[in-house]
Amino acid sequence: MQMITPIYAGLLTLVFLALSIMVIRQRFAVRTSVGDAGDKGMIKRMRTQANFAEYVPLGLILMLSAELQSAPAMAVHAMGASLLVGRICHAIGMSRTPQVFLLRQIGILLTFAMLALTALGLIGHALL
């Protein structure tokens, strides 16, 4: 049986690298290697990257746990797609000036739904 979670782990890592490159480019633009130099663009890029980094690891852990508990492949793909699309929507919405709040809201909704539903499913499966 082929594992599904590594596909989404790889895709999410590529998104994280893109967000990291945005931070690095801004660091060169404002000529700072540490901190935000008081630059609003730098702060926005750093928070966009950090927000991604705060949610994705937990999502992948939950997803892998569900897959290891033999969750149906379609359910695992739904988890991965929700996390991936949610985090991309949130990053795009947050990184724009002005922010695109609808994309941020969609991203938050998809991410939180994935986390909550997967967590509840894992708990339920473990208790049965």
53-93 pLDDT, tens digit per residue, is: 999 999 999 999 999 999 999 999 999 999 999 999 999 99
Please report, for residues 13, 40, 58, 117, 128, the alpha-carbon distance to residue 124 in angstroms, rounded to integers and kept in the order given.
Answer: 29, 44, 18, 10, 6
The predicted structure's pLDDT at residue 41: 87
Distance of alpha carbon 73 from alpha carbon 113, whole angstroms: 18
Res 1 pLDDT > 80: no
Element (H, E) at 95: helix 73-95
The predicted structure's pLDDT at residue 28: 87
Q: What pTM was computed for the model?
A: 0.93
Res 32 pLDDT > 80: yes
* CATH number for the domain running over 5-127: 1.20.120.550
The predicted structure's pLDDT at residue 33: 81
